[in-house]
Structure 1
Amino acid sequence: MLWLLTLALWLPGLGNLPLRDWDEGRVATVARSTTNLLPMKWQQAYLNKPPGLHAPIGQLIRSHGENETLVRLLPALLSSLAVPLIVLLRRALGGAHKNRKALLAGVVLMTLLPMARHGRLAMLDGTLVSCSLLLWWGWVRSREQPLRALAAGVAGSGVLLLKPPALLGLALIALIVGGRSSWPRWRGWITLVLGLLPGLAWHLWHWSVRGSDALLMWGGQGLARLTSSIGDGHGWWTPWVEVLEGGWPWLLLLPIGLRWAWGHRRQSAGRWELGLFIGSAALVLPLRTQLPWYSHLLWPPLALLCAEGLTQLLDSGAPHWVTRCWQALGFGLSLAGLGTLVIREPQLPGLSLLLAGFGLLLGGQVIRHPQPQRRRRGLGILVIAWSLALLALWHSRLWLWELNESWDPRPVAAQVRALPANASVWLQGPTRPSLGWYAGRNLQRYRKSESPETPFWLVSNKRMPGCLLNHDPVAGDWKLWRCQ
């Protein structure tokens, strides 16, 4: 039921905004070019990532047509599995009230804005989170039920077909946190290896076909991110900003959860929750290449710890400072939402702000009630209002805001598609993988020193000497020019 609620919350409005750069445009382009298990980008070998997600997306769009909803659908479905998987994991960790804490962990993870927002995108990170949770759950259960180790192995294959170097860190967390006493018995090791075979077999085959180039996704595009900045990476502060920006409203419960986990560190649940939190931070924080979605691995451990704090809040109504902060935040959000609706600014999500503020105001007030039943009702009010706020956000134009979203590539791309197949089309300015996806061709980066001698077409936001504007100009600064 919680998974169905997650789908109802995460799937609406998947296709109401164009594909985002970089990753969505690149993932869609590779998916279109990959017709077998060898990843391709246009007519060249793609050595950045395995085709674990690209290949099925490509099959889907070839069968049913190219549009944003279909490109994002499979990643969104796989990402949403993280919610039921965190429930299974928390149950497996045991302890008092394990079922209630598992349910609360799922609710927290389901309503975290970054989990829902990045999970809806055509990217690998949401699926990677689901694989990591399946791996840890299978490992926790493997000693008592050897067949569960097969799930851990299958999850390991999934990681190998998404971001191979991540398996080293995820497996190390399981080995260290669980300790020697949690390792599976010999039958568990056999089923674990059986689950890993598909991922290992693909990498061996890829190496046999492409030779040493196949190692790039392990080294230059994998482990090298620990030691150097690759591409348009952000600074070291990025994951900290993401947690402070996206952890609401549950982030205030994290100190309570950490205190609980430390106090129960000798028990399975406390040890695993602390270990997963520290281990995931150790995987994310040292990266020299930082992008907003790299912090995605932090959300499940954070949800587990916040569920412990939420359990204490529902049981005792304390600490009161949490609900007071929720009410103060709700008051501010409500004012912002009302102001946005009054000035009728269509670019701002006024309804979303108003719903979130109402939920925090009323829910925070009811959670402070001395009767436990009323406190649970207050949590229901907060969760429902916050979920409605997320649904309202999906129907605004602001649920995507990273990187190169300064202009919509679709109008210009439609003009490029209308050109003859042999037309020479160049791009001046920042590279836009999504522009190439919508245009249906690989646009070459324009440099004056490499200007072709024959007439060519140029996508640019500047007036180019010797170039004529296309007969049917599109709105916006970026236009298609014909140049001599």
Structure 2
Amino acid sequence: MYNASFARSRLKKWMRWSDTWIDQLLVLGLLLAALLLFTINLGIPLRDWDEGTVAQVAREIASAPVQSLKWLYPTLAGEPYLNKPPLIHILIAASYKLFGINEWSTRLFPASLTAISIPLLYGVGREIFKSHTPAIFSALIYLTLLPVVRHGRLAMLDGSVLCFLLLMILCVLRSRRDLRWCLGAGIAFGLICLTKGIMGVLLGAIAVLFLLWDTPRLLTSWFFWLGIILGSIPVVAWYTAQWLHYGQLFIGTGIFNQSLARIWHPVENHSGKPWYYLLEILKYTVPWLLFFPLGWRLAWQNRNYSWGKLILVWNISYFVVISVMATKLPWYVLPIYPAIALAGGAKLSETWHGWDSLPPSRIWIISLALLGLVAFAGSLYFTLLANSINLHLQLVLLSAALTFLISAVLLAQKDLQFIFVLFWGTYVTLLLFITSPHWVWELGEAYPVKPVAAMIQQHTQKSQLVYNW
């Protein structure tokens, strides 16, 4: 009896050690793959107007002495910058101090934070799913979503919000087993608020709604509220400092015009229909769009489990709120993509484990084949144009075509390798895309900025105000 108990104890210890070792390897692999995808070829010109604004605010922080308090009261072209809290601007200013002022150093910290969100999503998956498979599939889907890759690489605030959001969700999930993780959840909530202000309240509400459904006892824990208080202290301090410094100007501009007014009034004419974000998801989540609807249905069928509750609360609440908002911008939808990836990962995992009892989906086969043919036609089109500019797009589309067509063939043959081909091929296609000059395609819609800027700098005085359009 003693020997049997000892053997079982050793087996359990070995299994825990094995799981930890596998998790560490997977986290390291995901982080390295993400850093490569998110930090390579960051040095092309900045996109106007959002990247230019962030860069200019960071540049003015970096150029001012610390005692001037520009890091606390940032400016844009010498005027008070009241749009968003300056956490990411300060990080970019630090990057300028370390690496100089250029496009690469401008995008480095936001892109790196977005890359860190990939293994964080894997951690979320390991907390809610029983096995590694749905967690790793979810992380790989999230890693290879075009909107996440493209916007996460830009000098904007939204990729950093993804990182802090997933850190908050991970800490919330772990706090169900260890209340000390509530402190981490509160700190992550504060980081969101110091990055995008009022959005932190919305994303924090998602976590609260999930706990209200899944673990309501946690909402009565003093550890939970202590975490929220600790995370909120720097946020309240920053808003108080702005109010004391700017007075009514900050209340009217920083809180109402730039934040709350976006809910009922389109800021700078950025409006759209209620289904605007649905179209964004449909347009830019190929090929993983094929698995999302069935993933949502699977979550609904398993709504008694934590993973089903989290996916449903996250997807529905966030999507409804941004859809009814008057201001519509493509990057507002980014925080929903981790939840969508979890749904897709759950469906792919079910397919993986129940393959023998599930016939190949004809819709998946036909859709992948059509996507492959469209991509091949696009590659052929750019081949016929035959110039160096289109060579990049030709390779990207050819890689996509091969990925989709081979996956369709394997799926038709009921070969599970179609999942690996789809992941690897999509990753390589995105890698080819971001190493091309086309990943910031808005640059092709306007004149080259750098030559014009050099001409203005050469022929105008340093302090002269210049309007350019």
Q: Does 1:415 align with 2:455?
A: yes
Q: Does 1:228 align with 2:265?
A: yes
Contact 1:79 1:119 in 2 (8 A): yes
1:198 aligned partner: 234
2:438 aligned partner: 398
Tell me, in whole angstroms, the C-alpha distance in 1 between the residues paired with 2:426 and 2:309: 31
Tell me, in whole angstroms, the C-alpha distance in 1 between the residues paired with 2:254 and 2:320: 21
Q: Which amino acid aligns with 2:300?
A: W
Partner SS, residue 427 of structure 1: coil
* Between structures 1 and 2, the one with greater helix share: 2
Q: How far apart are residue 184 of structure 1 and its match?
A: 6.1
2:47 aligned partner: 20
Contact 1:75 1:124 in 2 (8 A): yes
Q: 1:340 to 1:220 in 2, by over 3 A?
A: same
Contact 1:142 1:183 in 2 (8 A): no
Q: How far apart are residue 219 of structure 1 and its match?
A: 1.9
2:134 aligned partner: 101
Stretch moving more, 348-357 or 53-62: 53-62
Partner SS, residue 242 of structure 1: helix
Q: How far apart are residue 422 of structure 1 and its match?
A: 4.7
- 1:18-417 equivalences in 2 (<5 Å): 18-34=45-61, 35-94=70-129, 96-97=130-131, 99-179=132-212, 180-183=216-219, 185-215=221-251, 216-236=253-273, 237-315=275-353, 316=355, 318-348=360-390, 349-370=393-414, 374-375=415-416, 377-402=417-442, 405-417=445-457
Tell me, in whole angstroms, the C-alpha distance in 1 between the residues paired with 2:220 and 2:148: 31
Partner SS, residue 466 of structure 2: strand
Tell me, in whole angstroms, the C-alpha distance in 2 between the residues paired with 1:23 and 1:104: 32
Contact 2:263 2:325 in 1 (8 A): yes
Q: How far apart are residue 26 of structure 1 and its match?
A: 0.5
Count of aligned pairs between the two proteins: 422
Partner SS, residue 81 of structure 1: helix
- What are the Cα deviations for residues 261-316 of structure 1, in whole angstroms up to 9, with x where unaligned? 11011111111111110012023211211111111122111111111221233232
Normalising by structure 1, we get a TM-score of: 0.82
- What are the Cα deviations for residues 166-202 of structure 1, in whole angstroms up to 9, with x where unaligned? 1221122122222123436223332342233222322
Q: How far apart are residue 403 of structure 1 and its match?
A: 8.6
Tell me, in whole angstroms, the C-alpha distance in 1 between the residues paired with 2:362 and 2:138: 21
Query: Unaligned 5+ residue runs, structure 1?
Result: 430-484
2:12 aligned partner: none
Normalising by structure 2, we get a TM-score of: 0.85
Q: Which runs of 4+ in 1 moved over 4 A?
A: none
Partner SS, residue 222 of structure 1: helix
1:448 aligned partner: none
Q: 1:123 to 1:58 in 2, by over 3 A?
A: same
Partner SS, residue 53 of structure 1: helix
Q: 1:325 to 1:293 in 2, by over 3 A?
A: same
Contact 1:143 1:185 in 2 (8 A): no
Stretch moving more, 323-332 or 148-157: 323-332
Stretch moving more, 338-347 or 75-84: 338-347
Q: How far apart are residue 345 of structure 1 and its match?
A: 4.2
Percent identity between matched residues is 31
Tell me, in whole angstroms, the C-alpha distance in 2 between the residues paired with 1:399 and 1:135: 30
Q: Which amino acid aligns with 1:325?
A: S
